[in-house]
Amino acid sequence: MKIIPKYVLKHFLPVFFLANVGFVGIYLVVDFFERVDRMLQHHLGFREIYLYFLFKIPMILTQGIPMSAIIAAIIALGMMKRNRELMAMETAGINPGHYVAPLALAGLLLSLLHFGLAEYVVRPLNQKLYDTWDVKIEGKKPPLWMNPENIWYREKDTIYQIGLYDRKHRVMRLASIFFMAPDFSLARRIDARSITWTPKGWLAKEGLIVSYHAGKTDQQWFNREMLDLKITPADFKSGEILPHNLGWLDLYRYTKNIEREGFSATPYEVDLNMRIALPLATLILTLLGMLVALRQGIHGGIAAGVGMSLLVAFAFIAVSNIGSSLASAGTLPPFLGVWAGNIIFGSLALYFWLRQTGR
């Protein structure tokens, strides 16, 4: 490695790691005191509590990487500028790209690290966190079984098989409901093209009711039928997280299958785009941090630079969250809504870089 890139990274990496350690520490302390009382009330042991917060660290890191990157970029270049090292390089005829490129490359590598950490570490651990908090503490009911194509759910003596549950419209599509007798024999079965939640309860459309008794079978076709079911849409929230625990490629295939069947795949398209856009935000914020540092005066304070970096990061998060919410609601296309923050702040980074280089 050449001397200048190595020297720049020597300033960048320690600040980045220190910022991440601080972010994780503060997050864990606040989260611990918010949750520990309820954990103890539900008689969780020390090992379960310890593992819960240990498994949460990778998720916290993915949230802290973008903000730590912009802080580290501003402090690294800010210190070099304050010590007149950048001025000395420019006087010696060294192109700014020699000390900017290493930070840009570091931002790109951190984006890849962010994506890999989220896909291969955080996602598998999310199910363990869910089992501890949502199931044991919140009392939510886990589904009987689920894969990308079907949802199976059991509620006491009733088993539900759902081709697709549309959580936005609260509709079970291509659903079958099996009512079991006390001896666990099949007493009744309902098949329906759709079962929709209404203020009066579940409304089934275009289906068949089959009753089994005394060795005989009775069949009744229906167009619309109100069903007396014990479950509500809230019971299916325990299964909503499962598609999001799929890897990116598996979720992509799942989304395409839903679209081919003619159903809305907007929530999953939003998730697919976010999994790429959020890691790439690390690179964009690193570039913005560099430009903020380069535009500061020689006597610009490090504290002011950090404050500016936090302001930029929070503005980026606000724009991204608003865009993602609009995309989830169907107001904006998923790609445009999710990528709004990256597009806007990436354009700002390009604009300020062109001004900085005088092009």
The full 3-state SS of 109-170, as one line of letters, equals: HHHHHHHHHHHHHHHHHHHHHHHHHHHHHCCCCCCCEECCCCEEEEECCEEEEEEEEECCCC
Span 207-226, pLDDT tens digits? 999 998 877 888 999 999 99
Give me the amino acid identity at 122.
Answer: V
Q: What are the phi and psi torsion angles at 61 (to 5°)?
A: -60, -40
pLDDT at 141: 60
The radius of gyration of the chain from alpha carbons, rounded to an integer in Å, stands at 27
pLDDT at 42: 87
pTM: 0.71
pLDDT at 33: 94
Which three-class secondary structure state does DSSP give residue 297?
coil
Token pair belonging to 150? 């079907």
CA distance 301 to 298: 9
Q: Which residues, at least 6 apart from 254, have a Cβ–Cβ distance to it below 8 Å?
A: 148, 243, 246, 268
pLDDT at 298: 55
Span 30-63, pLDDT tens digits? 999 999 999 999 888 899 999 999 999 999 999 9
CB-count exposure of residue 104 (10 Å: 0-12, 13-18, 19+): middle
CB 328 within 8 A of CB 350: no
CA distance 150 to 242: 11
CA distance 283 to 66: 8
pLDDT at 239: 47
DSSP string spanning 35-47? HHHHHHHTT--HH
pLDDT digit of tens for each residue in the chain (359 aa)?
578 888 889 999 999 999 999 999 999 999 999 999 999 998 888 999 999 999 999 999 999 999 999 999 998 888 888 777 887 887 777 777 788 889 999 999 999 999 999 999 998 888 788 778 877 887 766 544 444 456 777 777 888 888 888 777 888 888 999 998 888 788 899 999 999 999 989 999 999 999 988 778 889 999 999 998 888 887 765 444 455 667 888 888 878 877 776 667 888 899 999 999 999 999 999 998 888 888 775 555 667 777 777 888 889 989 999 999 999 888 999 999 999 999 999 998 888 878 776 55
Please, what is the angle between helix 46-82 and helix 123-130, to 10°?
140
Q: What are the phi and psi torsion angles at 165 (to 5°)?
A: -105, 115
pLDDT at 241: 43
pLDDT at 297: 58
CB 70 within 8 A of CB 313: yes
Quick one: DSSP state of residue 332? S
